[in-house]
Amino acid sequence: MNIELRDIDQVRPYPGNPRQNDEAVDAVAASLREFGFRQPIVVDGEGVIIVGHTRWKAAKKLGLAKVPVHVATDLSESQVKAYRIADNQTAAIAEWDYELLPIELSSLQEMDFDLNLLGFDQEELARLMSGDVQQGLTDPDDVPAPPDAATTQPGDLWILGNHRLLCGDSSKAEDVNRLLEGATIHLCNTDPPYNVRVEPRSNNAIAAGLSSFPASNAIEAADARGMHHQGFDLARHKSKAHATHKKLRAKDRPLVNDFVSDEEFDRLLEAWFSNIALVLAPGRSFYIWGGYANCANYPPALKRHGLYFSQAVIWVKEHPVLTRKDFMGNHEWCFYGWREGAAHKFYGPSNVSDVWSVKKVNPQSMVHLTEKPVELAVRAIQYSSLAGENVLDLFGGSGSTLIAAEQTGRNAYLMELDPLYCDVIVQRWEKFTGKKARRISGAEVTDSTEKTPAMMAGVDEAE
User: Domain limits of the chain?
Assistant: 4-93, 100-129, 133-198+257-456, 203-252
Going along 141-222, which residue ranges are E strands? 157-160, 163-167, 185-190
> What does the DSSP assignment read for 431-460?
HHH----EEEETTEEEETTTT-HHHHTT--
Are 290 and 370 in contact, with CB atoms under 8 Å apart? no
How far apart (Å, rounded) are the C-alpha atoms in residues 76 and 82?
A: 10
CATH code of the region 133-198+257-456: 3.40.50.150
pLDDT of residue 34: 94
Contacts of residue 462, Cβ cutoff 8 Å, sequence gap at least 6: 434, 435, 436
Of all residues in the chain, what percent are helix, strand and coil, respectively (each to 5)? 35, 20, 45
Other CB atoms within 10 A of residue 200 CB:
20
Q: Is the pLDDT of residue 155 over 90?
A: yes
User: pLDDT tens digits, residue range 397-425?
Assistant: 999 999 999 999 999 999 999 999 999 99
Contacts of residue 298, Cβ cutoff 8 Å, sequence gap at least 6: 269, 288, 290, 309, 335
Banded model confidence at residue 12, pLDDT cuts 50, 70, 90: very high
- Report the pLDDT averaged over residues 320-347: 86
Banded model confidence at residue 254, pLDDT cuts 50, 70, 90: low
> What does the DSSP assignment read for 176-194?
HHHHHTTPPEEEEEE---S
What is the 8-class DSSP label of residue 257?
A: T
Chain-centroid distance of CA 431 in Å reads 21
Mean pLDDT, the chain, integer: 82
33: alpha, beta or left? (left if phi > 0; alpha if psi -120 to 50): alpha
Q: Is the pLDDT of residue 223 over 80?
A: no
Comparing 49 with 352, the larger pLDDT belongs to 49
Banded model confidence at residue 82, pLDDT cuts 50, 70, 90: very high
Question: What percent of the chain has a predicted confidence (pLDDT) above 90?
Answer: 55
Q: Is the pLDDT of residue 94 over 90?
A: no
Other CB atoms within 10 A of residue 172 CB:
13
CATH class assigned to 4-93: alpha beta
The pTM (predicted TM-score) of the whole model is 0.65
Are 437 and 158 in contact, with CB atoms under 8 Å apart? yes
Of 231-240, 269-278, 325-334, the range with the lowest mean pLDDT is 231-240
Q: Is the pLDDT of residue 201 over 50?
A: no
- Report the pLDDT averaged over residues 114-125: 81
Banded model confidence at residue 308, pLDDT cuts 50, 70, 90: very high
User: pLDDT tens digits, residue range 133-144?
Assistant: 889 999 999 999
Residue type present at position 241? A
CA distances from 349 to 107, 121, 251, 306, 383 (A): 18, 9, 36, 26, 8
User: pLDDT tens digits, residue range 15-63?
Assistant: 999 988 898 999 999 999 999 999 999 999 999 999 999 999 999 999 9
- Report the pLDDT averaged over residues 184-193: 94
Greatest mean pLDDT among 197-206, 358-367, 373-382: 373-382
User: pLDDT tens digits, residue range 428-438?
Assistant: 999 999 999 99
Please return the burial class of 353, using the count of CB atoms within 10 Å of its CB with bins 0-12, 13-18 and 19+.
exposed
Contacts of residue 24, Cβ cutoff 8 Å, sequence gap at least 6: 54, 119
Banded model confidence at residue 205, pLDDT cuts 50, 70, 90: very low
pLDDT of residue 228: 34
Banded model confidence at residue 252, pLDDT cuts 50, 70, 90: low
Q: Is the pLDDT of residue 451 over 60?
A: no
Handedness of CA 435, 439, 445, 450 (dihedral sign): negative
Q: Residue 29: which of 3, 80, 4, 63 has the closest Cα?
A: 63
pLDDT of residue 48: 97
Are 320 and 330 in contact, with CB atoms under 8 Å apart? yes
